[in-house]
Structure 1
Amino acid sequence: MKMRASQRSNSKKNFDDNPYFEGSGTEFAREVVLKPAGYPLIGLIDDDPFIDDTDLFEAYIRDQWEGWEVETGMYLFDRELFKGFAYRVVSADPEGFAIGPETKVQIAPSNAKPEFVENKPETFISFDEIIGQDAAKKKCRLIERYLAEPETFGKWAPRNVLFHGPSGTGKTMLAKALACKADVPLIPVKATQLIGEFVGEGARQIHELYERAEDMAPCIIFIDEIDAIALDRKYQELRGDVVEIVNALITEMDGLSERKGVCTIGSTNRIQSLDSAVRSRFEEEIGFVLPTADEVEEILKSNLETFPLPVDPSFNVKRFSKEAVGFSGRDLVHKVLKTALHRAIIEDEEYVKAEYFNKALAELKKNGLDDDCRQFYA
């Protein structure tokens, strides 16, 4: 959305000078159609914006974006009343020209559907695809049952569940699998994205998040890295001024406005650092653990089958798995298998040598990630 110098100087010229409006000189668009897209951080949007004075709204739009070149598909972000709220350009006539002093601005109906939220995971994920975490998967059956029959649980509903454990052990993947199994929408949210720039903005986003979830119920709200906003108060310097956000989250989790069929799943790698007031709102805590030797072997075998190169026949997966205990599945895939494969490709090898796997694992151990992992999550 860059603006040419000529456009900046000419953007305030008389509208009659525009060649597209029977004039000559300044290049302005005749008409721009916008569609409310919501907040890009968490994909929230209320019902279609109610605009009772179109002239006033057009003046408001031009005041912010006059002189900006617009093309179909781009986004314009509100900088005034609703900072960060996005409008997508549905059409611009002509394309690539700037909003001018008298450009006609219209709002297309949004049908109250957020554009930044994936209602369902992009690909189907089953519980069987998640290796290990049997205890966690078993406990998730309760959530699945609740989402299938929310009206039968009453006050005993598992509305708030906390996933905790080492990074890379499948917390996000299990949330997606649960949504697929229950056939309900999943609203994924990064906790850091709930922190607004202005006072009250974060709290408003949380309340809008739950209102949207209620409209989509039954559904799952998955708040990843919840410790980013819910750190214990003794870490005040680290967590910053997020009191309003925490209070808004607690209010929603308390169910003062009962929202049937909405399950909040929080995820954290730092359960001991959570604010006790927030942690106490979770009726169920589900722990995730690092894979055992047998599970490491299964993870390796399932991923090696997808390699674009064959693996050295001398590579003993079972023996290697025992050496690799203490790492998460993500570390094994991205820092061992991928590293070994990439080295084989770089060296123009016909297969991935066993020594490449051993060197990748040795490098990972050298960095002390396994020790850090054990200490941090003890």
Structure 2
Amino acid sequence: MEKEKKGEVKYLILKPLGYPLKASYHEYPVVDNPKVFDRYAKDQWKGEFVSKGKMLFDYRLFPDFAFEVKSCEPESGYIGENTIIVVENYSRDIVTEIVKDVKLDDVVGQEEAKRKARIILEYLKNPEKFGKWAPKNVLFYGPPGTGKTMMAKALANEAKVPFLSVKSTRLIGEHVGEGARKIHELYERAKQIAPCIVFLDEFDSIALDRSYQDLRGDVSEIVNALLTELDGIERREGICTIAATNRIEFLDPSIRSRFEEEIEFTLPGIEERREIFERNLRDFPLKVEVNLDEVAKATEGLSGRDLVEKVIKSSLHRAIIEGREVVTTKDMLDAISKLKKPVKQPPKQMFL
């Protein structure tokens, strides 16, 4: 891409809104060819000043159809010849974001994962430097709630590139060929806005070892489409695929072999758990009287998400319900106790 002019928006992500008035004859436009739409959009909106929340109206093929600016990089500017324009699909299976609110320093711990992931950052900043040695496909694995998604978003933010994400379960369609089409659509969009990160969450749902696939339906068409894209038949500079899974041991070997790097995420240690509590309690809405050493020690085996969602948030809600202005150590220890309480097994006669 040519160097963008001062004040020109580099990326523009649009959300389809619809028509101001609903009528039975209205046809809703669907972007079939991103390159053609990019040209069509610039012919209409070149020179238009945009920022988050602004609406743009089509006045040619679909008069009065509205698009809302979901995000742009930088946060405001003019649509120019070099602006890359992306439209979200109606199904929302594929989400395109310009991430601005998370950095690598926000990921507590995971120092080895951060060290390994920096190669992705360098690649996205300078794809031409790597040539055929690019880190095209990287696998994040480890227990749920350990920061895999957060790390991927942080890399996109610090590299200042778009973040395309999809939950792999959404790729499994009701009709033959639908899943493969979504895979190819995902990478067509990635090629349009590269350099970028393609993030496949819940990856084991489509990459399960084939010996298990009869348990969840045939997804061979999705697997074949994915293998084609991961292999990169045509050279694609600046696209890094990051897949995330909690169950790496169940992945199909043929798919797992396509990933040049596997990066492990681990449960936080006691010092990391204490830091997670400290960071999340800095702007807490209630007064905090908590012995963090005691609480951190009691939360062994819990993930960062568990600490935030099931300990801190539960303690806050309990205090609010009881009309208190203070969250105490007891509140958090009680939340931890409930969280670690073993699940009761149903009576044996239920299985007879």
Alignment TM class, shorter chain as reference: 0.7 to 0.9
Cα deviations across residues 140-170 of structure 1 (Å, max 9, x unaligned)?
1101111112122122110000000000000
Q: Is the 8 A contact 1:144 1:178 kept in 2?
A: yes
Q: Is the 8 A contact 2:98 2:161 kept in 1?
A: no
For normalisation by structure 2, the TM-score amounts to 0.74
Distance 1:256 1:324, change over 3 A: same
Counterpart for residue 371 of structure 1: none
Distance 1:270 1:290, change over 3 A: same
Q: Which of 305, 312, 323 is the equivalent residue of 1:348?
A: 323
Counterpart for residue 242 of structure 1: 219
Distance 1:193 1:244, change over 3 A: same
Q: Which of 84, 88, 96 is the equivalent residue of 1:114?
A: 88
Distance 1:89 1:157, change over 3 A: same
Gaps of 5+ in 1: 1-27, 39-43, 50-72, 74-86, 92-109, 369-378
Counterpart for residue 171 of structure 1: 148
Counterpart for residue 273 of structure 1: 250
- CA distance in 2 between partners of 1:30 and 1:347 (Å): 52
Q: Is the 8 A contact 1:46 1:208 kept in 2?
A: no
Shift of 1:323: 1.4
Cα deviations across residues 206-242 of structure 1 (Å, max 9, x unaligned)?
1121121011110010000110001001112233110
**Counterpart residue type for residue 30 of structure 2:** P
Q: Which of 310, 320, 333 is the equivalent residue of 2:295?
A: 320
Identity, % of aligned positions: 52
Counterpart for residue 336 of structure 1: 311
- CA distance in 2 between partners of 1:217 and 1:348 (Å): 51
Q: Is the 8 A contact 1:45 1:208 kept in 2?
A: no
Residue 35 of structure 1: SS of its match in structure 2?
coil
Shift of 1:124: 2.2
Q: Which of 107, 114, 126 is the equivalent residue of 1:149?
A: 126
Counterpart for residue 296 of structure 1: 273
For normalisation by structure 1, the TM-score amounts to 0.69
- CA distance in 2 between partners of 1:213 and 1:30 (Å): 34
Q: Does residue 252 of the first structure (1) align with residue 229 of the second (2)?
A: yes
Q: Is the 8 A contact 1:130 1:170 kept in 2?
A: yes
Distance 1:233 1:34, change over 3 A: closer
Shift of 1:48: 4.0
- CA distance in 2 between partners of 1:88 and 1:270 (Å): 49
Distance 1:245 1:30, change over 3 A: closer
- CA distance in 2 between partners of 1:212 and 1:177 (Å): 21
Q: Does residue 182 of the first structure (1) align with residue 156 of the second (2)?
A: no
TM alignment of 1:1-378, pairs within 5 A = 29=23, 32=26, 34-36=28-30, 47-48=36-37, 90=65, 113-114=87-88, 116=92, 119-312=96-289, 315-367=290-342
Q: Is the 8 A contact 2:109 2:268 kept in 1?
A: yes
Shift of 1:351: 0.7
Distance 1:175 1:345, change over 3 A: same
Residue 101 of structure 2: SS of its match in structure 1?
coil
Cα deviations across residues 269-307 of structure 1 (Å, max 9, x unaligned)?
000000111100000000000000000000011111222
- CA distance in 1 between partners of 2:148 and 2:63 (Å): 33
Greater strand proportion: 2
Residue 28 of structure 2: SS of its match in structure 1?
strand
Q: Is the 8 A contact 1:296 1:329 kept in 2?
A: yes
Shift of 1:31: 6.6
Q: Is the 8 A contact 1:221 1:265 kept in 2?
A: yes
- CA distance in 1 between partners of 2:273 and 2:342 (Å): 20
Gaps of 5+ in 2: 1-21, 39-54, 56-61, 67-83, 344-352
- CA distance in 2 between partners of 1:112 and 1:321 (Å): 44
Residue 327 of structure 2: SS of its match in structure 1?
coil
- CA distance in 1 between partners of 2:114 and 2:144 (Å): 17
**Counterpart residue type for residue 119 of structure 2:** L
- CA distance in 2 between partners of 1:175 and 1:112 (Å): 20
Distance 1:121 1:239, change over 3 A: farther
- CA distance in 2 between partners of 1:29 and 1:272 (Å): 52
Counterpart for residue 10 of structure 1: none
Tell me the matched-pair count: 282
Distance 1:89 1:318, change over 3 A: farther
- CA distance in 2 between partners of 1:330 and 1:111 (Å): 34
**Counterpart residue type for residue 301 of structure 2:** G
- CA distance in 2 between partners of 1:195 and 1:222 (Å): 16
- CA distance in 1 between partners of 2:107 and 2:187 (Å): 28
Distance 1:46 1:272, change over 3 A: farther
Runs (4+) of structure 1 moved beyond 2 Å?
Answer: 28-38, 44-49, 110-124
Residue 311 of structure 1: SS of its match in structure 2?
strand
Shift of 1:33: 6.3
- CA distance in 2 between partners of 1:231 and 1:176 (Å): 25
Query: Which shows bigger deviation, 303-312 or 166-175?
Result: 303-312
Distance 1:249 1:351, change over 3 A: same
